[in-house]
Amino acid sequence: MGRPIKKRFFSGGADVSVTAGESVGTVTVLNSGTFYSSSATSKVVFSNPDLPTGSLATGYILVNGAGNITNFVVVSTGSGYTADPGIAIVGGTGTGATFSVSLAGGISNTGKIATSAFLPLPKGTAANVSTILKQESSHRYLVQNSDGDGQCKLVAVSTASLAAGQMNIVALDSAGNSYYVTKLTSRKAQVTPFTSGQFSTNQLVSWNTVTAVANVSVKVNTN
């Protein structure tokens, strides 16, 4: 894999110029899961902060009578996070719950690389608008959507044609022609045109999320 993409292009990535990192702002329940019990409310565990000087965030879940998680309460926001912390619910019989973390300091999914993904089976039910959590390689990513999270591979097909375990990222050239991105590093994108454009199939070009330069670079779509 080439040089990895900066975390600021992924869901919840903090501005690493903030040397103290960030604290947890809010946690949103994406999938309420099933068969959770009140005994699990004291078993929520955040992953450790990215910076050694940080402190661990804490919180708990609220569960309804049907065993679904209805809310996530942050007790201590912690500190020292430079990317979304993971969340685990330890103990009990509940399964399927997923969460989205927003770090403090105005960090959100705005300006992050946009993607659609069909999660691997058995989690995936259809292709959905997704967020990228982590880069696994130049063409494979850990993504999250309403079905949960899973690792998917970049392919050059439309959202309607995505199969389980596949995802797409779209880019535009300066003339507005569309491309599928099949590999992505910090500096180069391998692109395949929808029909035609300034670049040929599997050509490596420069990319950014602001503007495309004719015959030089593409603009990758963002949220």
DSSP readout, the chain?
Answer: --SPPPGGGSTT---TTSTT-B-EEEEEEEE--BS--GGGGG-EEEPPPSSTT----EEEEEE-TTS-EEEEEEEE--S-BSSPPPEEE-SSS-B--EEEEEETTT--STTSBPEEEEPPTTT--S-EEEEEEEE-SSSEEEEEETTEEEEEEE-SS-GGGPPTTEEE-EEE-TT--EEEEEEE-SSEEEEEESS--SS-TTEEEEEESS---TTTEEEEPB-
Q: Which of 19-23, 134-138, 158-162 has the lowest mean pLDDT?
A: 19-23
The domain ranges of the chain are: 7-103, 109-223
To the nearest whole number, what is the mean pLDDT of the chain? Answer: 84
The model's confidence at residue 34, banded by pLDDT at 50, 70 and 90, is: confident
The predicted model gives 19-47 an average pLDDT of 77
Of 59-63, 82-86, 148-152, 197-201, the one with minimum mean pLDDT is 82-86
Q: How many C-alpha atoms does 173 have within 13 Å on its Cβ side?
A: 22
Burial of residue 218 (CB within 10 Å: 0-12, 13-18, 19+) is buried
* Residue 220 reports pLDDT greater than 90: yes
- Residue from 29, 26, 31, 32 nearest 64 by CA: 32
Say whether pLDDT at 37 is over 70: yes
Residue, of 109 and 214, whose pLDDT is higher:
214
Q: What is the pLDDT at residue 167?
A: 97
176 contact partners, CB below 8 Å, separation of at least 6:
none
Q: What is the tens place of the pLDDT at every residue in 110-128?
A: 568 889 999 999 989 999 8
Whether the pLDDT of residue 24 is over 60: the answer is yes
- Round to whole Å and give the CA distance between 72 and 62: 6
Task: Give the whole-angstrom CA distance, residue 136 versus residue 74.
Answer: 29
Tens-digit pLDDT profile for residues 157-184: 999 999 999 999 999 999 999 999 999 9
How far is 89 from 29, CA to CA, in rounded Å? 13
What is the model's pLDDT at position 195?
Answer: 94
pTM of the predicted model as reported, rounded to 2 decimal places:
0.61
